[in-house]
Amino acid sequence: MAKQQPQRPQPRAPQPQRVPQSPQTPARKLAPTPAPARRERRESNFNLGNQGLIFGRQNFLYMGIGLALILVGLLAMAGGAMPDPNKWEPERIYSFQRITLAPILMVAGFVVIIIGIFKKNSPIVSTDGDNVTTTTL
């Protein structure tokens, strides 16, 4: 049998010192402090005010072109039905259109969509006499 080591006594936490109260003054309970009032009013994420849309016209154009490329790639991958369901034609299924062209179109569509999302709007500066107005497309 293994020898058991003697247990060490746990150190005691120092206890706070009590201040003796005189019998004339009773102990008072302090009232809880109220929570501070909210002074800052945050704007809602849905209320854009005068800022308009996040994406400009050019961004939506890029995203639309990307979506069209993805759809054309999916249609090229589908390719159509076999003329005779009882006959296997590997050159039709493993054609350049389905194996190479369609995935390239789809990846290109995703790249164009990503470009449309990350592209910054170019500001348009218009001057009317002394006033300079900056707007985004």
Query: What is the domain extent for residue 113?
Result: 53-80+89-136
In a domain, 122, yes or no: yes
| pLDDT of amino acid 37 | 76
Which residues, other chains included, contact 102 with Cβ-Cβ below 8 Å and sequence gap of 6+? 73, 74, 76, 77
CB 120 within 8 A of CB 127: no
In a domain, 58, yes or no: yes
In a domain, 40, yes or no: no
| pLDDT of amino acid 22 | 59
Low pLDDT (below 50) residues in the chain: none
Helices and strands (H and E) in the chain: how many: 4, 2
Number of domains in the chain: 1
| pLDDT of amino acid 91 | 86
Token output for 135: 């707007």
Q: What end-to-end distance do the CA atoms of the chain give, in Å? A: 84
| pLDDT of amino acid 49 | 57
| pLDDT of amino acid 113 | 97
Token output for 123: 């500001």
